Amino acid sequence: MTQAPLIDPFARAITYLRVSVTDRCDFRCVYCMAENMTFLPKKELLTLEELDRMCSTFVGMGVEKLRITGGEPLVRRDIMTFFRSMSRHLDSGALKELTVTTNGSQLGRFARDLADAGVKRINVSLDTLDEEKFARVTRWGRLPQVLKGIDAALDAGLKIKINAVALKGFNEEELPRITEWCAEKGMDLTWIEVMPMGDLGNEDRVGQFWSLKDVRARYEEHYTVTDLAERTGGPARYVRLEETGQKIGFITPLSHNFCESCNRVRLTCTGELYMCLGQEDMADLRAPLRDWPNDDRPLQEAIRAAIGLKPKGHDFDYSRRRADGQVSRHMSHTGG
């Protein structure tokens, strides 16, 4: 039976669910994780079968786009079982898109399987093309492995968008190189302002912050930049570089609040539903999922009640030179 659509208190239809399938990752990016992370006990994580039931319940309530995240989603054991199972909702037409955000490290192994499961587009997080700097920002990462994975994904027919976090004093000078590399490979590129999430020890969030207004100004020094009206339902605003025909996205949670059109919620790997990335409010969906294994109605009621609490917007703010509005959980916990 089709459920009534999920509408939040501000008349926004919730059609997009981001699902973290693990808090684990094979990198330790400096703006995302502490170097020595303590990961959750496995019993707290939703099983792959529970993730299937949870996501299928959301699809039955009108969610049309699923983005699978982590941590690094492709390090979850047997994760392709989940992707293959979710493809039934693509086949039925209930789900319009199944997509992934990844660091690229495992794409060499899984790109073809993802394409076979119905994934058409993926986002790859990549902040630098300099091998030494890549090792520094990811702490554990290997750039050649990621670049080979990207090539494997392109060979499998996947459309790729590169997500680069704008980091002052780190990748400013690489902007032309990253842009040209993406153009050569036919990949879109989105820049993201660093977000104040989680205690990362010695990392200085305010010092890392490179406003995307400055990024855009840098583009205007080299290219003819045209604003695009296009919105994908996500937070990015787009421009076209006329010289290359490239689409460049800007995600600006700090210098511009993009909440008015928010259509998404985020599910953690433990079954917590965060109605807003920049707020601490969440709903525990694991309890109704596990307490009523043969009845989805309590889970549906819990989801609907949670959507009824979705706030109008977040409160990230660097304007006072402090990371005000900082949320305590790590980005890897919520799933990007």
Q: Is 265 annotated as a binding residue?
A: yes
Q: Is 262 annotated as a binding residue?
A: yes
Q: Is 224 annotated as a binding residue?
A: no
Cα–Cα distances (Å) from 235 to 31, 70, 254, in that order, read: 19, 19, 12
Q: Is 31 annotated as a binding residue?
A: yes
* Distant-in-sequence, close-in-space partners of 202: CB < 8 Å, separation ≥ 6: none
The tokens of 53 are what?
A: 């039931």
The tokens of 214 are what?
A: 């400055």
**Residue 214 in contact with residue 195, Cβ under 8 Å?**
no
Q: Is 179 annotated as a binding residue?
A: no
Q: Is 276 annotated as a binding residue?
A: yes
Alpha carbons within 13 angstroms on the beta-carbon side of residue 27 total 28
Q: Is 278 annotated as a binding residue?
A: no
The backbone torsions φ and ψ at residue 258, rounded to the nearest 5 degrees and listed phi first, read: -110, 25
Q: Is 137 annotated as a binding residue?
A: no
DSSP state of 329: S
Q: Is 71 annotated as a binding residue?
A: yes
The tokens of 113 are what?
A: 């399987």
**Residue 233 in contact with residue 246, Cβ under 8 Å?**
no
Q: Is 24 annotated as a binding residue?
A: no
Q: Is 77 annotated as a binding residue?
A: no
Q: Is 18 annotated as a binding residue?
A: yes
Q: Is 182 annotated as a binding residue?
A: no
Q: Is 266 annotated as a binding residue?
A: yes
Across the beta sheet with 246-251, what order do the strands follow? 225-227, 237-241, 246-251, 188-193, 159-166, 121-125, 97-102, 65-69, 16-20, 264-267, 272-274, 282-284
Closest CA to 71 of 5, 125, 107, 114: 125
The tokens of 91 are what?
A: 């086949």
C-alpha 233/C-alpha 144 separation (Å) is: 33
Q: Is 32 annotated as a binding residue?
A: yes
Q: Residue ranges for the binding site for GTP?
A: 18, 67, 101, 161, 264-266
Q: Residue ranges for the binding site?
A: 18, 25, 29, 31-32, 67, 71, 101, 125, 161, 195, 259, 262, 264-266, 276
Q: Residue ranges for the binding site for [4Fe-4S] cluster?
A: 25, 29, 32, 259, 262, 276
Q: Residue ranges for the binding site for S-adenosyl-L-methionine?
A: 31, 71, 125, 195
